[in-house]
Amino acid sequence: MNISKINDTKQTIGFFATTIAWAFMNIANAIYIVIEDGKATDSGVIIFWSGLFIFLTWVLFLIWPIEKLNHSDPIFKTIIFIPLSILYAGIAYAIIVGSLFQSFELVLMFFPQALLVGFIFGLAYINLIKSKKVVDLLFGKPIIKMGFFLSPLLFLGLFLYLFPLVAPNIAYRFVPDAIRDNIVAKTIPKYSVGDEIEPLKKDLPGYLAHIKNGKGNMFATMEDFAFVLQVNCGKIIRLEYGKNQSEFDGTVYGKMTEKPCP
């Protein structure tokens, strides 16, 4: 492959591979937390801090070697490059996090995620840089480079906006708390008194888990939404909501859910 084309595009590909690694790590981490805890309550925090640390890693540990190393060297053979990327990511992570927080326990806590980032980065970079189509595209159309450098915003838009918009019942467990509240605020008004409760529980998986055997109550307040929900005999018998509690009576009337089912 043309060396001048590689030299012209390698930093763009390096940044894009870093973004892919960051995005994949956050998706894998969210899935793991959902399996363990039922919902990824800290996904927003992890997205922010992991993005900051991975950006620092790119600036401090990747720009210079990508610029200086000869991509025709044996180190860029897939079987060598990927293991080295895993090792390098672990070292870079330990240096950055260890120097900032001086906590061995904290370094160990997220060390597996750092190794995963190294693996995905190595896999993505080596395949992209060896792709003649990708290199020619970036070399021939410099404006596309800007799109590659904006790829973190694309991931955030897909994960934090499009995913909840297209599949809110699936996204509910994975997205940050603020977006989860927004899904609740958009879902609750779709239902009314007399509706079965099970479809609502499926639309908000885990949120109404305490409503069991077709009976239960729920009162909640969020930043721009509040509601009271009462269920008996598998159906919604009371549902009131508004932008805040002052717009409706938030009292939970226990006797409503004590009536025998027909």
Q: In this predicted structure, which of 84-98, 197-211, 248-262 has the lowest mean pLDDT?
A: 248-262
Same domain, 34 and 135: yes
Percent of the chain with pLDDT over 70: 100
Q: Which of 171, 193, 219 is the last residue of a domain?
A: 171
CB within 8 Å of 1: residues ≥ 6 apart: 130, 132, 135
Contact 232, 239 (CB under 8 A): no
Residue 136: give the domain boundaries: 3-171
Residue 262 lies in a domain: no
Contact 228, 252 (CB under 8 A): yes
Same domain, 116 and 186: no
Same domain, 125 and 97: yes
Same domain, 80 and 116: yes
Is 90 exceeded by the pLDDT of residue 5?
A: no
Residue 46 lies in a domain: yes
CA pseudo-torsion sign 148, 153, 155, 157? negative
Same domain, 32 and 134: yes
pLDDT digits (tens, 9 = 90+) for 39-94: 887 888 889 989 998 999 999 999 999 988 888 888 889 999 999 999 999 999 99
pLDDT band at 1 (very low <50, low <70, confident <90, very high): low
Same domain, 106 and 224: no
Contact 12, 142 (CB under 8 A): no
Q: Which of 171, 191, 222 is the last residue of a domain?
A: 171
Same domain, 148 and 203: no
Is 90 exceeded by the pLDDT of residue 106?
A: no
Residue 53 lies in a domain: yes
Q: Which of 112, 138, 171 is the last residue of a domain?
A: 171
Length of the chain: 262
- Total of domains in the chain: 2
Say which residue, 142 or 202, is predicted with more confidence: 202
This prediction has a pTM of 0.85
Average pLDDT over residues 214-222: 91
Same domain, 163 and 192: no
Same domain, 48 and 132: yes
Q: Is 41 exposed, middle or buried (0-12, 13-18, 19+ CB in 10 A)?
A: middle
The helix or strand, by DSSP H or E, that contains position 216, with its residue range, turns out to be strand 216-221
Cβ count near 170 (within 10 Å) = 12
User: How far is Cα 137 from Cα 221, in angstroms, rounded to an integer?
Assistant: 50
